[in-house]
Amino acid sequence: MPRKTFIQGYPHQIGGHCGSGAMRDLLHWHDLGWDGPPSEGLVFTLGGALGLSYLRSNALVPPLYLVGRGADFEVDLPRRLGGQVQVLTTDDPEEGWSWVRDEIDSGRPSLVWGDIAELPYLRVQMQMSRHDIVVIGYDEDAGVAFVVDNDRAEVQAVPFDSLARARSSTSFPQPTRHCTYRITWPSELPTIGDTAAAAFRQSADNMRQASGASIADLTAASGAEGLAAAAALAADVHTWADLPDDELEILLFSLGAFIEKAGTGGGLFRRLLAEGCAEVARLTGDLATADLAQAADCCARAWTETARAGIQRGADVRARLDAVAEAAGRLPKEETDLVEALELASSSLATADH
């Protein structure tokens, strides 16, 4: 077996979201696209991954969780594009590493999960187990794997023991279990109109009805999904007025971080969706999809305004809470408008001549 293998020329760029950034690079690597390599926004959009989950619990650190995507993006996108996906998990580190090594030895990058707290180049203390990274090489003599991450421009050399800890984490939202995605990509892609129509419909369904396919276990934590999550957040913010200032500061900071900083691409993934829908509208000429891009942009701006309201410099914490409550109160309507626009664009594309 080779002791050192490295995939040359892997087309990595910094991304807003770990999953869609990784998938964009993988599609580019396999020379797949409609009008050149797809953008990250288009990749996220075609995954049909839009979602919304919210919960607040003192058992969490920080004591709330907010995410704007569903759990199955990494499986749904390749399958929607005509590929095949095996999701491999194990508690045996040697078996888990063998899957990665075998892919790299065959000249294929390997998409895996890693807990952000165990990846030394990220330098964070917060644990989050479902972070997508791509392993493109290894050096057994040096004891390192070569990793690309949407959050870093350069390839990272990660010690084997650090990578093993990241891939065996049991932290929130779920154990990593050496999760590895073995993807077989198609030789060519389906038409953009049909692909987008199906993705829009799935995203709308994610928001209309709780599927149980959220990233976190919301049932155990009494959380909410989809449109109900937007309403739950808007209502819950008003109860924060009863909290001491120090606890309130943590919630306001954390809310902003989950919306803008936690690998969402800004605006809780809605900005990526707006970019992707605009690209679909350009490629298809579909007017309903152009309207959808505008609805997604409006929704993204509403989320960003909510985040920024909580961290206004020089403003008293109680004044910031009032501003957050006012901004969050607009979110349920923005989310409903977005879902309706997704449904209209899906129907428009599905009935169009491609």
Q: What is the predicted pLDDT for the residue at 62?
A: 82
d(C-alpha 178, C-alpha 99), whole Å: 9
Q: What is the predicted pLDDT for the residue at 193?
A: 97
d(C-alpha 185, C-alpha 180), whole Å: 15
Q: Please name the residue that has the structure tokens 């030895």.
A: 105
| pLDDT tens for each residue of the chain, 354 residues long | 568 899 999 999 999 999 999 999 999 999 999 999 999 999 999 999 999 999 988 887 788 999 999 889 999 999 999 999 999 999 999 999 999 999 999 999 999 999 999 999 998 877 888 999 999 999 999 999 999 999 999 999 999 999 999 999 998 888 999 999 999 999 999 999 999 999 999 999 999 986 655 555 545 456 899 999 999 999 999 999 999 999 999 999 999 999 998 889 999 999 999 999 999 999 999 999 999 999 999 999 999 999 999 998 889 999 999 999 999 999 999 999 999 999 999 999 999 865
Distance of CA 52 to the CA centre of its chain: 11
Q: How many CB atoms lie within 10 A of CB 187?
A: 9
Q: Following DSSP, what letter does each residue of 69-120 receive, concatenated?
A: E-S-HHHHHHHHTT-EEEEE--S-HHHHHHHHHHHHHTT--EEEE--GGG-T
- Return the SS3 of 324: helix
Query: Would you state the structure tokens that stand for residue 127, as one six-digit string?
Result: 């644990």
If residue 250 lies in a helix (H) or strand (E), which one and from where to where?
Answer: helix 245-256
Q: What is the pTM of this model?
A: 0.94
d(C-alpha 220, C-alpha 152), whole Å: 34
Q: What is the predicted pLDDT for the residue at 223?
A: 83
Q: What is the predicted pLDDT for the residue at 58?
A: 84
Q: Which amino acid is at 318?
A: R
Q: What is the predicted pLDDT for the residue at 4?
A: 86
Phi, psi of 272 (to 5 degrees): -60, -40
CA-to-CA separations, 27 to 31, 37, 156, 348, in angstroms, rounded = 6, 7, 21, 27
Q: Which amino acid is at 296?
A: A
If residue 292 lies in a helix (H) or strand (E), which one and from where to where?
Answer: helix 287-309
d(C-alpha 300, C-alpha 259), whole Å: 9
